[in-house]
Structure 1
Amino acid sequence: MASSSSFSSPTVTSKFIGFLLLLLSLQPDLSLGSDLHYKNQTSFRPKREIQKLRKVEEYLKRINKPSIKTIHSPDGDVIECVPSHLQPAFDHPQLRGQKPLDLPEMPSIAIANETTNEENFNQLWSQSGECCPIGSIPMRRTTKTDVLRARSVRRFGRRLKKPIRRDSSGGGHEHAVVFVNGEQYYGAKASINVWTPRVTDAYEFSLSQIWLISGSFGHDLNTIEAGWQVSPELYGDNYPRFFTYWTGSYKPTIKLQLAQRFPQGPLTMEDNLTSA
């Protein structure tokens, strides 16, 4: 037994050593394969990011038009005074090459309780007396961060659908509305208090606005809206910002005006800017 045991032990040991040598000889190949997989992953992901950033930069070149004056707002916004005929609205094929016309005269219709001594309301960028020269309009410079907050160029300027915790019977949407019906309207205005409400979720918002509505709340709804809102999702901060909002012609898709799509005349207020 003793001799048998001493004879078989070197055989088992040699086999075990041979197995280890074989395993070690295969290890570089396994490591190489793992390294190649890692390199493929790391090289693929930045490529997609680079393509995304390239699209964003191309988009910014299209909407950030050449300006004749730049104003730096105290809140960090940069206001560009863009010649009226270069505003993004005139990138539309049906408007390309045209220039803004003079505003039409309003019908001389007496409006009840009309007052002329209204208090001027300044935004932060114009609080120090800054203004855009005649023939230009103020436009907030859109940044890469603004677009990336929407996750893509295609989603920029559109309301994102995100789940919001619904704690009440209002379905998560609490609101109060005052309205008036009529046959024809030649204009509308509203006096709105500007507050800074605190929203507890990044996807919550709070707003006060005036609506001009044509049609019903069905497939023929057409609206033009303007007001103030706090929306961290859209603007990346908790400041109240002036906005305009409209529906496409009888289309249910609603777009937020982050970059002007309709021609403007001379303005003293600019969309998406904070109040003074």
Structure 2
Amino acid sequence: MVSLKDMKMGIACILLMTYLVLVKSGEDGDTSLSRKQEEELKLLKKPAMKSIKTKYGDIYDCVDIKKQPAFDHPLLRNHSIQMKPSSFPKGMIDKELLASKPSKIGVNSSWCPPGTVLIQRIQKEDIIKSESQVRRYHGHTGQLITENPGYHFATFRLIRSDRNYYGGSVHLSIDQPVLYSVNQFSEAVLWVENGPIDQLNSIQVGWTANPKLFGDNRPRMFSYWTADGFHKTGCYNLLCPGFVQLSRKLSFGQTYDVISTYGGDQYEDNFLVYKDPKSGNWWYFKDLDGGHEPVGYWPSSLFTTLRDSASTIASGGQVYSPTNERSPQMGNGHFPIQNQRFSTAARRLQFVNERNVMVDPDAGSLKIEMDSPACYTVESVVPRAKVWINSIFYGGPGGACGI
């Protein structure tokens, strides 16, 4: 027969276990989605004709090209897919430009079948994580201080205010920066932008080490876009409708298989974004298997100021950390020196002009920018060959980077 004392002890144990469960739930945070987020996730998850799992555990789906998430955007409901550009920028392919070894990217399996496109599978956690990371415009240090603390950059950009740009290209070193928490990221970026800061139109491509977004700190191909200064439009990768995916081989979120080593072999990737002369769409190309692979495009109808042209082309490194944490490494984690084997590079920044020609800008039209030289610096590369004109070495160890 159970005594009154035993019953009281049993009730106490149950209450204690219940309390511990509730405390643990509170510590883990609320992972439930709002109604709006549930609707977004439902739209983004499309039926797959085939699924591919990478060696890193990522799952990519082969989705019907006509049923991809892009066409759930209200501005793209009646959009006609542009299967290929009307033309390519002249000078786009130059075999003599290779100064470092190209890094490998892509799923290690057979590609998606014809009529489908490669899209990383989206889970509810991805929606929550992406909305917790707000982007900012790298070119305004004042705004960096007052509105977005924790961001730091080491970049260079074109400063000619008397001309329009119709695309940009750069070769970026692929590195493995050290991060000190899951709330940080470190990335190498090509920016194509136009408009006032509060309504900025921006397309950003490159690679990022971002554990909160991807679950690990490996360098991965990423993009971000906005048409209103990061207020209500835009997102990372394909986490909202907008970008029209075309490739069956490459997609955002894919991991780089080979990384540069400090003092050893250096690996890089080329990033190219340009405006189609006829459609006005902004195409994104990547190097793959010795050629240029069209990943897809951002339709011109998504934008306001970028419908015509860009006013800024920039490249370099960007990091983020909560202000109560030491800032992460940028690039290879070392301050740059005039030696390719020991420095992270943004190599040969070019722009596309109004005649759809790849152009090397005058050195005087490039401006170096860094907001925290105690942590990250930039050096113009002394070009000893054509492949190194209009290039920078950048990066640093991070640390206490208060402005």
Q: 1:33 to 1:275 in 2, by over 3 A?
A: closer
Q: Does 1:179 align with 2:157?
A: yes
| 2:192 alignment counterpart | 212
Alignment of 1:236-251 (within 5 A): 236-251=215-230
Equivalent in the alignment of 2:120: 140
Q: Distance in 1 between matches of 2:117 and 2:152?
A: 35
Q: 1:89 aligns with which of 52, 70, 83?
A: 70
DSSP-derived class of the 1:69 partner: strand
Distance 1:42 1:201 in 2: 26
2:209 to 207, 224, 230: 230
Change (3 A) 1:38 1:228: same
Distance apart, 1:252 and its partner CA: 3.8
Write the letter of the residue equivalent to 2:225. Answer: W
The residue matched to 2:235 in structure 1 has which SS? Answer: strand
Deviation at 1:43, TM superposition (A): 11
Letter in 2 for 1:244: S
Q: Percent identity?
A: 25
Code of the residue aligned with 1:213 in structure 2: it is E
Shift of 1:211: 0.2
CA distance, structure 2, for counterparts of residue 205 and residue 52 of structure 1: 21
Secondary structure at the counterpart of residue 114 of structure 2: coil
The question of whether the paired residues in 2 share the 8 Å contact of 1:122 and 1:269 is answered with: no
TM-score in terms of structure 2 length? 0.46
CA distance in 2, matches of 1:44, 1:202: 24
Residue-by-residue CA offset, 1:113-155 (whole Å, 9 max, x unaligned) = 64343887642414x5x212222211111235xx1xx6xx5x4
| Contact 1:139-1:270 within 8 A present in 2 as well | yes
Q: Which residue of 1 aligns with 2:200?
A: 221
Question: Could you say which residue in structure 2 is the equivalent of 1:167?
Answer: none
What's the counterpart of residue 68 of structure 1?
A: 49
Q: Helix, strand or coil for the counterpart of 1:176?
A: strand
How far 1:101 sits from its partner (Å)? 3.0
Look up the SS of the partner of 1:208 in the other structure.
strand
Greater per-residue helix proportion: 1
Unaligned runs of 5+ in 1: 1-24, 162-169
Tell me what 2:131 maps to: 158
Unaligned runs of 5+ in 2: 135-144, 258-403
**Which SS does the other structure have where 1:219 is aligned?**
helix
* SS of equivalent residue, structure 1 residue 139: strand
1:125 aligns with 2:104: no
Partner of 2:377: none
Give the letter aligned to residue 272 of structure 1.
G
**For 2:131, what is the secondary structure of its paired residue?**
coil
> 1:215, 1:259 → 2: CA distance?
24
Equivalent AA in structure 1 for residue 242 of structure 2? F
Structure 1 counterpart of 2:183: 203
* Cα gap change, 1:193 to 1:41, in 2 (>3 Å): same
- Tell me, in whole angstroms, the C-alpha distance in 2 between the residues paired with 1:75 and 1:39: 37
The Cα shift of 1:93 comes to 3.2
Work out which of the two has the higher radius of gyration on C-alpha atoms and give 1 or 2: 1
Q: C-alpha displacement at 1:34, in angstroms? A: 7.9
* 91-100 or 74-83, larger mean C-alpha shift: 91-100
Question: Would the aligned equivalents of 1:226 and 1:243 in 2 still touch at CA under 8 Å?
Answer: yes
